[in-house]
Amino acid sequence: MSDLAEGSTAPAFTMQASGGREVSSAALKGKPYLIYFYPKADTPGCTKQACGVQEALPALGKIGLEVIGVSPDAMPPIEKFARKYNLAFPLASDEDHKVAEAYGVWVQKSMYGKTYMGMERSSFLVGADGKIARIWRKVKPEAHAAQVLEAAAAL
């Protein structure tokens, strides 16, 4: 678990993303952004969350907020997911979970009595100053976009 807290400087990152893009904290310098972590492309919860964010993009764009979704998937399933749901914002691949570890979201999980390491569904709202303004852990996919819009409007 990372000791990141609201007010901390957001960890630096550079990752490959959907649409042949590359996303990096350096390219976002001076702009507010949301980096959200999701467990697996094209699964029910992750689809709800991504589509909710996609629907909120026009409103988020009006307040100048960039959005990046991050999963441990390789690029081919991420590209397929982005195309299937026409997701305009970049979905990044963090296969080695370096970024997830920096944000403290690569955690031990358990299902059916087995424990394994996986991505915790979490989001970080980063202000134009590069500091974390809001952290949401164990995000509920349905409510996520509304929570982000409300917090981002207050930046």
Task: Write the pLDDT tens digit of every residue in 116-135.
Answer: 999 999 999 999 999 999 99
In this prediction the pTM is: 0.93
Predicted pLDDT at 27: 96
Q: Mean of the per-residue pLDDT values for the chain? A: 93
Question: Which alpha helices (H) appear in 23-143, and where do they start and end?
Answer: 44-62, 75-84, 98-103
Strand partners, 16: 22
pLDDT at 79 exceeding the cut of 70: yes
Q: With bands split at pLDDT 50, 70 and 90, how would you rate the model's confidence at 144? A: confident
Provide the token pair at 147: 């929570």
Domain at 14-153, CATH class = alpha beta
pLDDT at 2 exceeding the cut of 70: no
Entry field: residues in the chain: 155
Determine the Cα–Cα distance for residues 62 and 5; give it in Å rounded to an integer: 27
Predicted pLDDT at 98: 97
Share of the chain above pLDDT 70, in %: 99
- Using an 8 Å Cβ cutoff, are 152 and 63 in contact? yes
- Cα angle 56, 8, 73; round to 5: 55
Spans of all domains in the chain: 14-153
For the chain, counts of helices (H) and of strands (E):
4, 9
pLDDT per residue as tens digits for the range 28-41: 999 999 999 999 99
Catalytic residue among 15, 17, 34, 46: 46
- Using an 8 Å Cβ cutoff, are 87 and 19 in contact? no
Predicted pLDDT at 53: 93
Say whether 51 is catalytic. no
